[in-house]
Structure 1
Amino acid sequence: MDIALLSMALSQGQLQQQASMSVMKKAMGNAEQQGEALQKLMSTADTKAIQQAAQPHLGGNVDLKL
């Protein structure tokens, strides 16, 4: 087996692993920030206002039959 080829393949594998770890750490950081923002929103906002923002089309009309 060619030692140079084996060395290049190993280096490429290590580089791919480092890149994957970097992307995963960035995604975890973003998820943590979003979780903190959601937690802050939930603690400061009114539940009815959150529901209205999530589903603005509900509760706007009332159907009556006489």
Structure 2
Amino acid sequence: MQHPETRLALHHARAADLRAQAGAYRLARPAKPSHGLRTRLGWTLVEVGLRIATPRPVLVH
């Protein structure tokens, strides 16, 4: 059984390692345009899905 302080220290070390790996990946990955057809289509589908999922307000006369 590990002490809570030991687990916390290991967690912080692992989190720092993951952040460093993510930073290295971001730097190594080639930049590509984010507004391609695929991205626009994806956001359009998200918008349509949100409109379908959101209930319409009830109008009271």
Under TM normalisation by the shorter chain, which class is it? Answer: 0.3 to 0.5
Q: TM-score, normalised to structure 1's length?
A: 0.44
Q: Which has the larger radius of gyration?
A: 1
Q: More helix by proportion, 1 or 2?
A: 1
Q: TM-score, normalised to structure 2's length?
A: 0.48
